[in-house]
Amino acid sequence: MSKEIKPVDRWGTFNYFFDKIVEQTSLGPKEIAVWLAIFRHGDTNGMATISKKRLLRMTGIGSKHTLNRALARLQELKLIGVVERGVNVKGKGWKCTKWWHRTKRE
């Protein structure tokens, strides 16, 4: 039986992403850069509100199309999830998902 636990700290999450996720998937540098930018802006629950314009600047990705492909790939792998914002807040937020809830082996 497995149980979901949260990492003790953000370094644990960061290390888990690189040690487990990056090694076990075929993520490219653009997907990694986007994940890092979202992670950088995330709160303690993994929720990040960051514009695509800012993601483009932070990651050095040259086009919205390429950024959208990277976001779609991260969503496909369930490494991020899109959270629709309420009516009082415009836009979308991203929530880093898979890495945030690690499975503990018993």
pLDDT confidence of residue 10 = 76
What is residue 82's three-state secondary structure? Answer: strand
Nearest partner of 100 among 33, 28, 5, judged by Cα: 5
Residues 6+ positions from 97 with CB-CB distance below 8 Å: 46, 78, 79, 80, 81
10-residue averages of pLDDT along the chain (106 residues): 51 83 90 93 78 92 95 89 61 58 37
Q: Which helix (H) or strand (E) segment is 48 a member of?
A: strand 47-48
Cβ–Cβ contacts within 10 Å for residue 102, how many?
17
Q: For position 61, which CATH number holds? A: 1.10.10.10
What pTM did the predictor assign? 0.75
Give the model's pLDDT for residue 37. 93
Domain span holding position 67: 3-104
Quote the number of domains for the chain: 1
